[in-house]
């Protein structure tokens, strides 16, 4: 199946035909990760309720948690004002990050606190 034209027409893809997918946890509001989607990945996500992404390194689709069991059940998908990103609101099971942390944006990755501990 193909992505519905009324959705596809609203997307502003990059040169590789991709849009950014920001993933937010429904229960906490925490930003979990950023991944990439093309029209097919977005269509699969909308149809199945399972987060499906395009792997730029492997050049293939992947369903979050298909091998790890760390799944994302999608409850809402929102498009941003420019059409170049979507927000997936999910129920996350297990860690979202491939490093094993709950979020790819945990406290250990704070640039501000590392560089400017007094706030600037």
- What distance in Å separates the CA atoms of residue 67 and residue 15, rounded to the nearest whole number? 30
The predicted-structure confidence for 28-60, as pLDDT tens digits, reads as follows 999 999 999 999 999 999 999 999 999 999 999
At 116, the pLDDT band (50, 70, 90 cuts) reads low
> Exposure string (b/e) for 61-98, b if CB count within 10 Å is 16 or more?
eebbbeeeebbbbbeebebeeeeebbbbbbebeebbee
Bigger pLDDT: 95 vs 106: 95
CATH no. for 5-115: 3.10.20.810
Chain-centroid distance, C-alpha 75: 13
Does the pLDDT value for residue 22 go beyond 80? yes
Residue boundaries of the structural domains of the chain: 5-115
- What distance in Å separates the CA atoms of residue 22 and residue 8, rounded to the nearest whole number? 18
Within a 10 A sphere around the Cβ of 102, how many other Cβ atoms? 16
At 66, the pLDDT band (50, 70, 90 cuts) reads very high
């Amino acid at each position: 199946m193909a992505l519905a034209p009324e959705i596809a027409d609203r997307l502003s893809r990059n040169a590789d035909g991709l849009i950014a997918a920001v993933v937010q946890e429904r229960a906490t509001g925490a930003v979990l990760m950023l991944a990439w989607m093309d029209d097919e990945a977005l269509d699969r996500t909308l149809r199945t309720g399972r987060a499906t992404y395009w792997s730029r390194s492997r050049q293939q689709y992947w369903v979050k948690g298909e091998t790890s069991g760390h799944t994302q059940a999608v409850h809402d998908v929102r498009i941003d004002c420019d059409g170049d990103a979507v927000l997936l609101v999910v129920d996350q099971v297990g860690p979202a990050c491939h490093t094993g942390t709950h979020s790819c944006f945990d406290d250990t990755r704070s640039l501000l606190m590392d560089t400017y501990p007094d706030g600037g």
